[in-house]
Amino acid sequence: MKPQVLIVGAGPTGLVLAIALIEHRVPFRIIDKNKGPGEASRAMGVHARTLEFYRQLGFANEVVNQGIPLGQVYIHEGTKVKAQMSWVNIGEGLSPYPYMLSFPQDDHERLLVQQLEARGVSIDWNTELASFSDEGDHVRAVLKQGDIVQEEQYLYLCGCDGVRSSVRKGLDLGFPGGTYEQLFYVADVECESQVEGMHMSIYDKGFCSFMPLRTRGLQRLIGIVPMELLDNNTTIGFEEIRPYVEKYVGLRVKTVNWFSTYHVHHRVSDSFRKGRVFIAGDAGHVHSPAGGQGMNTGIGDAVNLSWKLAAVLHGKADESVLDTYEAERIAFARVLVSTTDTAFQNVIGDTLPGKIIRGIIIPYVLPFMFGFSSARKTVFKTVSQTRIQYRDSELSSGKAGNIHGGDRLPWVQTAGSDNFEPLKSLNWQLHVYGQAKQLLRDFAKTSGFSLHEFPWTSTMKDSGLKQDSLYLIRPDGYVGLADTDQDVEKITAYLHKFKLSPLYNKQPHGE
Ligand SMILES: Cc1cc2nc3c(=O)[nH]c(=O)nc-3n(C[C@H](O)[C@H](O)[C@H](O)COP(=O)(O)OP(=O)(O)OC[C@H]3O[C@@H](n4cnc5c(N)ncnc54)[C@H](O)[C@@H]3O)c2cc1C
């Protein structure tokens, strides 16, 4: 079948978009100018929301089995540990993946490539997007493979081509924001002794942290190059950093496997879409790696875009549904970039708030707060991206209990399973926690929407759900419409707005 979508870039964003489009039965081509998957370990943190998407796509267990869940976080003052916070099952009861998983990006990308290949699709490596133009009813793309130049046509083009995105530049989109003056370093190292957990030290000359990488014994170091080293105009290698690492986090390094320095930007593109061309991932937003949100946000973009493209290409939604991709994802990217920027400036800055955060809040207040389950839950929800919501989206409507249209469906366990199991269908579905009315059952039968009734439990109330209410769930696991009355007319009006219908009659996973 002729490819309808061109994905430019086979980093995490492009790879997840590709896997999701396969699951949604959309023919596409994926190209990358590199000769193979990335070889730097870059992003380490894989968050719960990403794993929840991977479960929908059918390979969460493979990722979980290869990663290391974060255990203890230690705050250092020099070689001494000043405070300790446990991240073990920090999101218990909130997600089937109640932790942060450490899984290096190069291993992660290789796993995604394997998932693609297992589905019968290969990436066209050594293939570069040279130029493109939106012709109104299609996109014309000029691709270069060595000396060979090809001109092709697609219905849509998705630029998942990283921070220097040629797609973003081709669309003439601004990328406002800035670049931090601080120089970051990253190193993958072997240590003299076995170290467990994540260790960090925030001191007045910067910060330094390390966490386990791949197998125990290997560590990932991230930090800021001390200004005094930069002032001396020294070439920065690990040997210049070593004394600080030993002094501030007490790490004795035996072998350095990889060392690199880099400047960090904080920018969001003016737009994520122009006509038939989209951008996603680092092409649209970049920010400080502290908090480990970048890659996970790109994967969230890919999942959001995939089902909307599929719905339009399968004739199951009006083309205007594609407008909601930018509206939903750019809003989150802007909040993320500004909050990580503010947090970063405050923690590092030589200001009074910075001194209070470093001297009091991080070593004393934060560990004290971690003793309370409500504080742990708030931290988990924020870091894990399970808190992301699209309440202001045109696709969101209604409220039942504490759950609004646009919220992520809260995770609840049911007898022998959970309410996320049906999300594997990657299709619209009706959920009722309690009992469905006969009118709703009839609607489900005639309209083709699958109806899932979950016997009411008190945990459901704790999650914000309301007994006997209806939740119309989108293919990406967010609530589209919430309604306490199970009103079929409201559902019909909601669906009519974007001419929505079930993506498939038979479910992709054979439900
Ligand atoms: C040191 C470091 C540490 C980080 N740590 C974290 C972390 O802990 N957690 C986290 O979430 N994020 C982290 N990040 C960020 C994370 O690495 C990025 O957010 C992620 O790689 C973005 O994925 P992407 O697919 O959008 O872009 P990329 O990974 O940049 O992939 C873009 C791809 O597009 C290809 N390409 C570009 N132009 C073209 C073209 N014209 N034609 C064809 N192909 C093209 C490139 O070859 C590349 O393979 C870190 C980044 C760095 C540098």
pLDDT in tens, 342-397: 877 777 777 777 777 777 887 788 888 888 888 899 999 999 999 999 999 999 99
170 lines ligand 1 (CB under 6 A): no
Distance CA 237, CA 44 (A): 22
The candidate with the shortest Cα–Cα distance to 386, out of 92, 62, 12, is 92
- To which H or E segment does residue 75 belong? strand 72-77
Mutate to test the pocket of ligand 1, among 175, 180, 282, 337 (most ligand atoms within 8 A of CB): 282
Please indicate, yes or no, whether residues 155 and 188 belong to a single structural domain of this protein.
no
284 lines ligand 1 (CB under 6 A): no
For residue 64, give the DSSP letter.
H
Range of the domain at 439: 397-497
The set of residues, in sequence order, having a beta carbon less than 8 Å from that of 169 and lying 6+ positions away, is none
Q: Is 306 a residue whose pLDDT tops 70?
A: yes
User: Which protein residue has the closest C-alpha to ligand 1 atom 39?
Assistant: 161
Please indicate, yes or no, whether residues 220 and 333 belong to a single structural domain of this protein.
no
Distance CA 196, CA 217 (A): 9
In this structure, the number of other CB atoms found within 10 A of the CB of residue 24 comes to 23
Please indicate, yes or no, whether residues 195 and 147 belong to a single structural domain of this protein.
no
Q: Which of ligand 1's atoms lies nearest the C-alpha of 293?
A: 11
- Percent with pLDDT over 90 in the chain: 71
Distance CA 284, CA 272 (A): 6
Q: Specify the amino acid at residue 95.
A: S
Burial 219-231 (b: 16+ CB within 10 A, else e): bbbbbbbbeebee
Q: For the sheet with 101-102, list strands across it.
A: 45-46, 101-102, 68-69
User: Which protein residue has the closest C-alpha to ligand 1 atom 26?
Assistant: 281
- Residue 506: which pLDDT band, with cuts at 50, 70 and 90? low
Please indicate, yes or no, whether residues 163 and 113 belong to a single structural domain of this protein.
yes
Q: Is 504 a residue whose pLDDT tops 90?
A: no
Please indicate, yes or no, whether residues 481 and 333 belong to a single structural domain of this protein.
no
- Angle of CA points 220, 224, 227, to nearest 5°: 150
User: Which protein residue has the closest C-alpha to ligand 1 atom 3?
Assistant: 42
- Residue 234: which pLDDT band, with cuts at 50, 70 and 90? confident
pLDDT in tens, 454-471: 999 999 999 999 999 999
Mutate to test the pocket of ligand 1, among 161, 167, 296 (most ligand atoms within 8 A of CB): 161
E runs forming strands in 282-428? 285-286, 397-400, 403-404, 413-414, 417-418
The candidate with the shortest Cα–Cα distance to 409, out of 100, 3, 44, 56, is 56
Q: Which of ligand 1's atoms lies nearest the C-alpha of 32?
A: 44
Domain finish residue from 329, 363, 388: 388
Please indicate, yes or no, whether residues 75 and 196 belong to a single structural domain of this protein.
yes
Mutate to test the pocket of ligand 1, among 16, 33, 163, 303 (most ligand atoms within 8 A of CB): 33
- Residue 216: which pLDDT band, with cuts at 50, 70 and 90? low
Q: Which of ligand 1's atoms lies nearest the C-alpha of 34?
A: 47
14 lines ligand 1 (CB under 6 A): yes
Cα distances from 102 to residues 47, 111, 214, 338, 372, in angstroms, run 9, 14, 8, 25, 24
Please indicate, yes or no, whether residues 62 and 72 belong to a single structural domain of this protein.
no
Distance CA 11, CA 388 (A): 23
43 lines ligand 1 (CB under 6 A): yes
pLDDT of residue 509: 43
42 lines ligand 1 (CB under 6 A): yes
Lowest-confidence pick of 9-13, 231-235, 244-248, 431-435: 231-235
189 lines ligand 1 (CB under 6 A): no
44 lines ligand 1 (CB under 6 A): yes
Question: 510 lies in a domain?
Answer: no
Q: Is 487 a residue whose pLDDT tops 50?
A: yes
171 lines ligand 1 (CB under 6 A): no
CA of 335 to the centre of ligand 1 (A): 20
pLDDT of residue 370: 81
- Residue 205: which pLDDT band, with cuts at 50, 70 and 90? low
Distance CA 171, CA 133 (A): 9
* pLDDT mean across residues, the chain: 92
CA of 7 to the centre of ligand 1 (A): 14
pLDDT of residue 339: 85
The values of phi and psi at residue 194, to 5°, are: -75, 130
Distance CA 436, CA 440 (A): 6
The domain total for the chain is 3
The token pair at 398 is 């209604």
pLDDT of residue 35: 95
Burial 170-209 (b: 16+ CB within 10 A, else e): bbebebebeebebbbbbbbbebeeebebbbbbbbebbbbb
pLDDT of residue 232: 74
Please indicate, yes or no, whether residues 411 and 489 belong to a single structural domain of this protein.
yes
Q: Which of ligand 1's atoms lies nearest the C-alpha of 40?
A: 1
Q: Is 510 a residue whose pLDDT tops 70?
A: no
User: In CATH, what number is assigned to the domain containing residue 168?
Assistant: 3.50.50.60
Lowest-confidence pick of 73-82, 126-135, 355-364, 462-471: 355-364
The token pair at 343 is 């947090």
User: In CATH, what number is assigned to the domain containing residue 460?
Assistant: 3.40.30.120
E runs forming strands in 272-408? 273-274, 277-279, 285-286, 397-400, 403-404
Q: Is 111 a residue whose pLDDT tops 90?
A: yes
- Give the pLDDT mean for 81-106: 92
CA of 361 to the centre of ligand 1 (A): 32
Residue of 288 and 442 predicted with greater confidence? 442
Please indicate, yes or no, whether residues 310 and 406 belong to a single structural domain of this protein.
no
285 lines ligand 1 (CB under 6 A): no
Please indicate, yes or no, whether residues 430 and 480 belong to a single structural domain of this protein.
yes
Distance CA 405, CA 400 (A): 9
Please indicate, yes or no, whether residues 28 and 15 belong to a single structural domain of this protein.
yes
Residue-by-residue DSSP string for 398-447: EEETTEETTSBPPP-EETTEETTGGGGG-S-EEEEES---HHHHHHHHHH
pLDDT of residue 508: 43
Question: 79 lies in a domain?
Answer: yes
In this structure, the number of other CB atoms found within 10 A of the CB of residue 86 comes to 15
Question: 482 lies in a domain?
Answer: yes
Q: Is 215 a residue whose pLDDT tops 70?
A: no
Please indicate, yes or no, whether residues 450 and 357 belong to a single structural domain of this protein.
no
Question: 502 lies in a domain?
Answer: no
User: Which protein residue has the closest C-alpha to ligand 1 atom 31?
Assistant: 11
- Residue 202: which pLDDT band, with cuts at 50, 70 and 90? confident
pLDDT of residue 357: 76
Q: Where are the alpha helices (DSSP H) in 171-261?
A: 227-231, 238-249
Q: Which of ligand 1's atoms lies nearest the C-alpha of 298?
A: 26
CA of 125 to the centre of ligand 1 (A): 16
Distance CA 103, CA 44 (A): 5
Question: 165 lies in a domain?
Answer: yes
Question: 506 lies in a domain?
Answer: no
pLDDT in tens, 39-67: 888 888 999 999 999 999 999 999 999 99
User: In CATH, what number is assigned to the domain containing residue 226?
Assistant: 3.30.9.10
Question: 227 lies in a domain?
Answer: yes
The token pair at 29 is 């081509």
- Angle of CA points 246, 248, 251, to nearest 5°: 35
